[in-house]
Amino acid sequence: MALDEDQLAILLQASLERAGELLREDGGFLPFAGRVKRDGQIEFVQIAPEEAEPLDALLDRLGRMLAAEARMGEILGSSLVANTRLGGEEAGEAMVVLVETPGFCRSIAVPYRMTGGGVELGEMTPQPAEPAVFVDAAGAG
């Protein structure tokens, strides 16, 4: 079973809100994941980095963990969220969210800046992406 467009939008928004909370609390965040359980509830997962583990390796471990859950039918959708730095014309900090469900995968970059009152989000830029969690689903991308 796949999530519909509205459910994916809710997962994306919840992931961005969680990232914003972490930014306000800590000034940054390590990669984390969101997962939509079979009952429709969204849970966020963070794992501790192993000694000297690069952030991309931590994100990969999160993806593998969720992929195992997806193969067992435990989750209907997922998000992998990273804090990154954009280059070029759009230089600055950004949240990047990989949103997936069977048959659908998009990467959304959202520039942000810290303000006195919290986090100000810029314009979302969605792009096709290769799945990291629902890799066995035909037609993803």
- Write down the domain spans for the chain: 5-128
What's the 3-state SS for 103-136? CEEEEEEEEEEEECCEEEECCCEEEECCCCCCCC
- pLDDT per residue, tens digit, the chain (141 aa), is 889 999 999 999 999 999 999 999 988 899 999 999 999 999 999 998 888 889 899 999 999 999 999 999 999 999 999 998 776 666 688 999 999 999 999 999 999 998 887 899 999 999 999 999 998 754 444
**DSSP code for 48:** P
Among residues 9, 72, 74, the alpha carbon closest in space to that of 45 is found at 74
> What residues are paired with 94 via a beta bridge?
84, 111
